Amino acid sequence: MRLAIHSTDRIGISQEILSVFAQRLWNIKAVEVEPCLTYVHITEKNLLLATTVEALSSIKGVKNCDLIDLLPAERNAKHLTALLARIPDPIVDIDHFGNILAVNHAVNNLCVDSHINFIDTNIVDYVEQDIVSLLSLDAKSIEINFMGIAYIADITPVLNENRISGAVLVLHSMNTLGRQVALLQNTNNQSIDNILGQSAQIKTLKEQALRFAELELSVLITGETGTGKELFARALHEKSPRSKAPFLAINCAALPENLLESELFGYAVGAFSGAKRGGKPGLFELASGGTVFLDEIAEMSVYLQAKLLRFLQDYSYRRVGGTKELKANVRIVCASHQNLLELVEKKFFREDLFYRINVLNLKLPPLKDRYEDISLLAQDFIQDACLQTNQQGIKLSEEALLVLQSYNWPGNIRQLQNILFSVVALASQLIITGKEIKIALSQQSLATNNVLDSPLNKVTDWSSAQAEFEINLLAQLYPLYPTTRKLAARLNVSHNKIAMKLKLYGLNTAAN
């Protein structure tokens, strides 16, 4: 029987209550006292509430007595247990000697042998590190091996009057950390459906990417800078069976050799001066079950090329400075804007590694070869720019779109996005003119004579130059004026002439 005894706030009243129960030789299991409330757990069998009320009637200040299901401490303990049971990360509570005081269900679920009881055992029985020696007044994170599994442990000290009385260890799996890093790298949903383009090249590439996504093979993505290689890599991952696991990307050109090695493979405890005390997991370890994207793979040193080749043979590796053999369950996607075959011929890139990473291949076209996608891309970039600059309703004029479609775009999609953002940010009216686009292009280091110009040294004769001009003109205008009559009116020529030219150059079927 559990009772909540309400009373006045009088000194000694709780002692009087307990004294009455003791006189009747009732077995009291637990007592909790709050202002005006005394909670008592009596284990006496067949005891009735009316009997306890009668016994308490002689005490001055007792108001009433109620039956309750749980004492406050019991209720809090049950709620805390339920809360800890919902946390997927293993949690271990230890005292200052390392003795385990409590664990949550996630720890018990690690046991193959369900009869293992962690309580009152010592943490040293399950980890390789000396946890007790690491306890300090400050919280810290280290890598530990708990029951043979690698974790990052957040160690929070439990203090009693500024003295350490123990600690709480929260163990984060490498896969969980990998997903957190992946979220930090990218928060946008980037799938096949997010790749904009209606050109034949992009449609073919998206179909190939969907087929490649289902295969557990390495993929090499090539293309000029700014063509969207990482976007395709993320789309491959999102459509693959690994989509729930991390996608981690690293630019091989951004780090020197030693840092890139430790970022990919991690390093062991004491691997070098300045290394973290508990070591550090690498991308291959953090991305377990997922995908690692190696951008600008051609910039990787010959030494790291050899180490990567060794890793790709059976996906086993050692951390920098480590002796333990580790396994990584990851898919490798590489990218480069350079011609890797030429680098192989010049001995700058390992031939065996090239064939190892080039099992499946996606070659992305430059923006100048997919002019029909520029209108769709421009609309999306302008919409994003309007959101970022808090503007609405800005659109391109026909002249501005023609300028965009006629430009050579050496910086590809990234350059188009930057140009449109700068134009929208400076826009004073709702319609962007061709002149504004040309001014924005002229402010970059690229020459503006790329607009509507062809290299003169490629001209062989008058008729071929005229034919090339007509093809380019019709190809750019036909999507904007998709009937022969509209296009004829735009160019102020006869309908028959337009129909004849479209048929001559094979643009009527291609455009439709």
Q: Which amino acid is at 366?
A: P
pLDDT in tens, 318-370: 988 888 888 889 999 999 999 999 999 999 999 999 999 999 999 999 998 98
Which CATH number describes the domain made up of 367-450? 1.10.8.60
Contact 122, 100 (CB under 8 A): yes
pLDDT attached to residue 331: 95
CA 303 to mean position of chain CA atoms: 29
Chain region(s) in the chain for CATH 1.10.8.60: 367-450
Tell whether the model's pLDDT for residue 195 goes beyond 50. Answer: yes
Q: Which amino acid is at 273?
A: S
pLDDT attached to residue 192: 81
**Measured distance CA(459)–CA(174) in Å, rounded:** 60
**Quick one: pLDDT band at residue 509, thresholds 50, 70, 90?**
very low
**Quick one: pLDDT band at residue 512, thresholds 50, 70, 90?**
very low
Q: Is 381 exposed, middle or buried (0-12, 13-18, 19+ CB in 10 A)?
A: buried
CATH architecture, domain 460-511: Orthogonal Bundle (1.10)
pLDDT attached to residue 479: 72
What whole-number percentage of the chain has pLDDT above 70? 90
Tokens found for residue 452? 């509507």
Which CATH number describes the domain made up of 88-177? 3.30.450.20
Phi, psi of 11 (to 5 degrees): -65, 130
Report the candidate in 400, 435, 428 with the shortest Cα–Cα distance to residue 416: 400
How many Cβ atoms from other residues are within 10 Å of residue 394's Cβ? 18
Whole-model pTM above 0.85? no
Q: Is 397 exposed, middle or buried (0-12, 13-18, 19+ CB in 10 A)?
A: middle
Range 109-112 contact pairs with CB under 8 angstroms and sequence separation of 24 or more: 110/146, 110/147, 110/149, 111/147
Chain region(s) in the chain for CATH 3.40.50.300: 186-350
Q: Is the model more confident about 266 or about 472?
A: 266
Tokens found for residue 243? 């989509």
Q: Which amino acid is at 31?
A: V
Specify the DSSP class assigned to residue 52: H
Classify domain 186-350 at the CATH class level. alpha beta
Q: Right CATH number for 2-74 from 3.30.70.260, 2.60.120.480, 3.90.230.10, 1.10.287.1080?
A: 3.30.70.260
The size of the chain, in residues, is 512
Chain region(s) in the chain for CATH 1.10.10: 460-511
pLDDT attached to residue 488: 85
Task: Give the H/E segment covering residue 65.
Answer: strand 62-67
